């Protein structure tokens, strides 16, 4: 495909979660029809799309139906089987492609890619055999043992301080391939969302400062000097190098650790829009989801311009059970605060740790936005930051 897909075309997405839902909203606003493949009849994206194909990601009949009704296909989460994307790519443009997604699905391949791109990451070792476990260097401990595949939001990760703890943790992970990363003294975490087109053109959102709790993103703050200029410039350059090295087409989020000594190291990539980029819907003139539409449809990539300081609060299912009984969070009180923008993802039931929505606060000043965000957090029962 070399021609632009004009509005009126149909854009398909593998996966029906909240990222797919926000992609669908952006595509429909721009005049596109949409199709979702997801096995869940109540998937957030499937419920708002023009077409919802209820099938497993490797079901060839379902994939054929997606091909039939779509002009191009993207993905909304990194654990869509790469072989499904390969199958689709025989008939339709697919971005990101299967190879890039496969690298993001495997921590060992992902880290090897960082090394090839000349981007610093935490010292690490791959553990696939008992011999590799025994050969771990002493200076990698204490560390974090992470399963090589299918880990997200802190899942499949354990901190280990000794060889005994490391061996026990690997046993608990059923001896699946893992990566041991040296535990580093963190000062902060940040991320960069980049979009790369078929022609190699790249644009990016501003650097996003992130706070994680229990391995899940809790707060994102985006405004001038949220990260020192030198590290912000390095993060942007590194994210672009990683995307360029993949020959990537689409929206890519690159997460970084800012260390106590000022050094910056890459943590991981997500081959899709990212929770930390949700603020861009209200805080930027081009959101990460519009960028995803543009890359898929071969539209020009306009450089996003942030027009307001922004703070985003992640809304997890725990908020529905504050005080020990199920309740509806006080949205009326939250929305009475200036500059608040509520996004609920249309999930049928709340449960602890489940991402139910997000709240973005925008305003004229950083101090004002942070003050309102802290007020909203207090009303909702979210720990201050």
CB 190, CB 256: distance < 8 Å: yes
Where is the domain boundary, 138, 153, 182? 182
**208 and 169 both lie in a single domain:** no
Question: Of the residues 182, 203, 221, which one is the last residue of a structural domain?
Answer: 182
CA end-to-end distance (rounded Å), the chain: 47
Last residue of a domain, one of 147, 163, 182: 182
Domain carrying residue 34? 10-94
- The two beta strands, 250-259 and 264-270, are antiparallel
Q: What are 115-169's pLDDT values in tens digits?
A: 999 999 999 999 999 999 999 999 999 999 999 997 666 678 999 999 999 999 9
Give Cα separations from 283 to 52, 263, 278, 288 (angstroms).
30, 28, 9, 11
Residues 177 and 193 in one domain: no
Q: What is the pLDDT of residues 325-345, one digit of tens each?
A: 889 999 999 999 999 999 999
CB 202 within 8 A of CB 194: yes
| Confidence band, pLDDT 50/70/90 cuts, at residue 323 | confident
Residue at 105 is within a domain: no
292 with 215, same domain? yes
What are the pLDDT digits (tens) for 40-82? 999 999 999 999 999 999 999 999 999 999 999 999 998 899 9
Mark whether 173 and 206 lie in a shared domain: no
Burial of 137 (0-12, 13-18, 19+ CB in 10 A): exposed
Does residue 162 sit in the same domain as residue 199? no
pLDDT over threshold 70, residue 240: yes
Tokens of 342: 């509520």
Q: Are 204 and 193 in contact (CB under 8 A)?
A: yes
Measured CA angle at 153 (ends 264, 93), to 5 deg: 85
Tokens of 288: 């990460």
């Amino acid at each position: 495909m070399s021609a632009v897909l004009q509005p009126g075309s149909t854009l398909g997405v593998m996966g029906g979660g909240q990222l797919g839902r926000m992609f669908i909203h952006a595509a429909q606003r721009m005049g596109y029809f949409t199709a979702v493949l997801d096995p869940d009849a109540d998937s957030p994206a499937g419920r708002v799309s023009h077409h919802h194909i209820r099938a497993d990601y490797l079901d060839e009949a379902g994939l054929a139906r997606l091909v039939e009704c779509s002009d191009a296909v993207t993905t909304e989460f990194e654990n869509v089987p790469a072989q499904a994307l390969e199958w689709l790519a025989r008939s339709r443009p697919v971005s990101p492609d299967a190879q890039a997604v496969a690298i993001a699905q495997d921590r060992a391949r992902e880290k090897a890619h960082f090394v090839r791109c000349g981007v610093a990451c935490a010292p690490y070792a791959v553990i696939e055999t008992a011999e590799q476990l025994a050969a771990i260097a002493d200076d990698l401990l204490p560390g974090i043992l992470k399963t090589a595949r299918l880990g997200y939001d802190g899942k499949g990760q354990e901190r280990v301080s000794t060889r005994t703890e490391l061996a026990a943790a690997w046993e608990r992970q059923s001896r699946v391939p893992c990566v041991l990363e040296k535990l580093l003294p963190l000062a902060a975490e940040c991320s960069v969302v980049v979009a790369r087109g078929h022609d190699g053109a790249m644009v990016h959102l501003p650097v996003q400062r992130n706070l994680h709790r229990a391995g899940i993103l809790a707060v994102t703050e985006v405004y001038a000097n949220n990260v020192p200029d030198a590290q912000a410039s390095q993060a942007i350059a590194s994210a672009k190098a990683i995307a360029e090295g993949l020959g990537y087409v689409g929206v890519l989020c690159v997460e970084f650790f800012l260390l106590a000594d000022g050094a910056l190291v890459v943590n991981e990539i997500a081959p899709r829009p990212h929770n930390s980029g949700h603020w861009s819907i209200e805080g930027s003139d081009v959101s990460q989801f519009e960028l995803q539409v543009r890359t898929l449809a071969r539209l020009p990539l306009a450089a996003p311009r942030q027009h307001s300081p922004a703070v985003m609060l992640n809304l997890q299912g725990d908020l529905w059970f504050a005080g020990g009984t199920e309740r509806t969070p006080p949205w009326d009180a939250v929305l009475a605060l200036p500059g608040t923008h509520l996004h609920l993802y249309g999930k049928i039931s709340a449960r602890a740790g489940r991402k139910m929505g997000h709240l973005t606060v925008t305003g004229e000043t950083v101090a004002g936005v942070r003050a309102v965000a802290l007020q909203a957090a207090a009303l909702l029962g979210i720990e201050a930051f």
